[in-house]
C-alpha cells in the first residue's frame, strides 16, 4: 500500500457513494446511465469472485464487498425503486459492443487459462470501457448535473492515481502488471475530455455542457 493507491481507492469509494447519495437524496436517477452501472456490477462480480478462495487483507475484503454491494444497490435504485425517473430514452449505448470485445481480449491476454484468471482479465478490460454508456448519455443530452460531474471526476481520478501507484510499485518492488496497466491507461484516456470540461466549467461554477 502506498499513498497513490490509497488516494485512488478513496477516490473510488467516494465516487460510488456520491452516486448512491445523489440518487437516494434526490429520489431520482435522471441523467445516470443504468447501463454503465450494470457494466460496473459485472466488473466487480467477475473480479472479486476470489473473495471465496484468496484472502489478501481485511482492507481488500471489506473494499471488495463494499464495491459489490454498492453497485448492486445502485442498479436496484435505478431499475426498480426510482425506475420512473430513469432516463432510458437517452441511455441507448449498446453494451454488447463493450462486453464482446472485453471477453475476446480476455481470451487473448490473461495470466493463465483458468476460469478465474479469464474472469479477472475480462473485468479489467470491461472496467476500462464501462463508463462509455454514461459518457455517451452526457453527450446525447448535452449536459450533466454538477453532482454527476463530481461522480465522474472521482471515478476517473481513481484509475489515474492507480497509474501513479503502478509507476511507484515498479520502481520500489519491481511489480508490473501489464494487463492492468494497459487497460488502466486506456480507461484514464477516456476521461481526459471530461476532465478538461470539469476543470474549465464545473470548477468555475458553471454547469457541464457539451458542444453539439
Partner 1 sequence: VSAAAAHDEL
- Interaction site with partner 1 (CB under 8 A): 5, 9, 12, 50, 54, 56, 60, 63-64, 67, 111-112, 117, 120, 162, 165, 173-180
Q: Residue 117 CB, nearest distance to partner 1 (Å)?
A: 7
Q: φ and ψ at 126, to 5 degrees?
A: -65, -40
Nearer to partner 1 (CB atom), residue 28 or residue 37: 37
Nearer to partner 1 (CB atom), residue 94 or residue 175: 175
Q: Residue 210 CB, nearest distance to partner 1 (Å)?
A: 30
Q: Residue 212 CB, nearest distance to partner 1 (Å)?
A: 37
Q: How far apart are CA 124 and CA 157, in angstroms?
A: 16
Q: Residue 72 CB, nearest distance to partner 1 (Å)?
A: 17
Nearer to partner 1 (CB atom), residue 17 or residue 79: 17
Nearer to partner 1 (CB atom), residue 179 or residue 185: 179
Q: Residue 27 CB, nearest distance to partner 1 (Å)?
A: 30
Nearer to partner 1 (CB atom), residue 67 or residue 136: 67
CB-CB contact of 156 with 135 (8 Å) = no
Amino acid at each position: 500500500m502506498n499513498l497513490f493507491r490509497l488516494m485512488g481507492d478513496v477516490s473510488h469509494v467516494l465516487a460510488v457513494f456520491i452516486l448512491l447519495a445523489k440518487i437516494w437524496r434526490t429520489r431520482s436517477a435522471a441523467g445516470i446511465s443504468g447501463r454503465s452501472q450494470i457494466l460496473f456490477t459485472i466488473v466487480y462480480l467477475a473480479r472479486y469472485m476470489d473473495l471465496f478462495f484468496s484472502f489478501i487483507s481485511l482492507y481488500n475484503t471489506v473494499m471488495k464487498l463494499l464495491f459489490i454491494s454498492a453497485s448492486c444497490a445502485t442498479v436496484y435504485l435505478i431499475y426498480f425503486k426510482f425506475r420512473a425517473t430513469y432516463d432510458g430514452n437517452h441511455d441507448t449505448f449498446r453494451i454488447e459492443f463493450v462486453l464482446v470485445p472485453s471477453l475476446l481480449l480476455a481470451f487473448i491476454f490473461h495470466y493463465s487459462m483458468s476460469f478465474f484468471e479469464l474472469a479477472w482479465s475480462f473485468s479489467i478490460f470491461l472496467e476500462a470501457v464501462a463508463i462509455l454508456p454514461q459518457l455517451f448519455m452526457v453527450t446525447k443530452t448535452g449536459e450533466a448535473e454538477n453532482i454527476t460531474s463530481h461522480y465522474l471526476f472521482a471515478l476517473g481520478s481513481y484509475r489515474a492515481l492507480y497509474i501513479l501507484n503502478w509507476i511507484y510499485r515498479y520502481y520500489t518492488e519491481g511489480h508490473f502488471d501489464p494487463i492492468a496497466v494497459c487497460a488502466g491507461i486506456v480507461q484514464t484516456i477516456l476521461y481526459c475530455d471530461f476532465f478538461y470540461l470539469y476543470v474549465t466549467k464545473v470548477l468555475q461554477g458553471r454547469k457541464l455542457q457539451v458542444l453539439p
